[in-house]
Amino acid sequence: MACAKQRSPEAEAARFLSSYENVTFSARDGVKLAGWFVPCATAKYAVVLLHGNGSRRTQMLARARLLHDHDYAVLLYDARGHGDSEDKHISFGWFETSDLLGALDWLRNRGFTQFGCLGASQGGATIVFAASQLKGVRWVVLESVYPTLQAAIDHRFSAYAGGLGWLAGRTMAPIAELWMEVGLSKLAPTKYVAELRCPVLIMSGDQDRFTLPLETKELYDQAKEPKSMWLVPGAAHVDLYGFAKQNYEQHLLSFIATAN
């Protein structure tokens, strides 16, 4: 049986968006990034969407359409080392903070002064690591964000290698540190989430084996008020919008309306 032809990123964008701009901009540290900007004439502020590790900005297209339909301008981009952006070491959110800050700088140059940020997995961790620098961010949504990278590694090895998988994960830790050029002890969103100074919505699947429900609760407990949490019934480490579309929209839009 022939495999279905994979759509190009541009074809994917055309499926979801009636109009958008191809944009390029620099991260704070100079890395060149590629993205799409979805303008909205009635928008009071803009939303930045951050995809997960191993994905690209196409992951966030459905969210971009939803937010644009509710009068927000949207910027979604490929993180460093992903898609059409410059190839740099991936650090699971740490150096990617420069990507997010560069995205906010680009939006400020377009006249925006107030923002929302939504990130999935690595994208959410990026937001948390940048928390102290998020000037003008009115609200944040974190989806399926790991509590510490060590825990994320342990869970993945355990899922694929069984009971001793955690040991393999610990063995890999020093190698990961050398490759990423950052210590694993720093890569702990639970240490930084309290630095967010805006309302935060934390989501995850209640069947997620990579980010356990108790770990999501730990991240929530460390966040400052106002905050809310939604454990998506039946969802694993998946695209939560695709898994629970109607309920996702209800939770997200209700949260944004309250945060504004």
Indicate if the pLDDT at residue 22 is higher than 50: yes
Q: Spell out the domains of the chain, with CATH numbers in brackets.
A: 9-147+188-259 (3.40.50.1820), 148-186 (no CATH)
- Average pLDDT value for residue range 2-6: 53
Class of residue 175 by CB neighbours under 10 A (exposed 0-12, middle 13-18, buried 19+): exposed
DSSP labels, 113-135: --EEEEEETHHHHHHHHTGGG-T
pTM: 0.91
Model confidence at 150, in pLDDT bands (50, 70, 90)? confident
Indicate if the pLDDT at residue 178 is higher than 90: no
Alpha-carbon distance 42 to 173, whole Å? 48
Class of residue 252 by CB neighbours under 10 A (exposed 0-12, middle 13-18, buried 19+): buried
- Amino acid 176: pLDDT: 61
Alpha-carbon distance 35 to 3, whole Å? 28
- Average pLDDT value for residue range 209-220: 96
Task: List, for residues 37-89, the tens digit of each pLDDT value.
Answer: 999 999 989 999 999 999 999 999 999 999 999 999 999 999 999 999 998 78
Return phi, psi of residue 236, to 5°: -95, -155
- Amino acid 2: pLDDT: 47
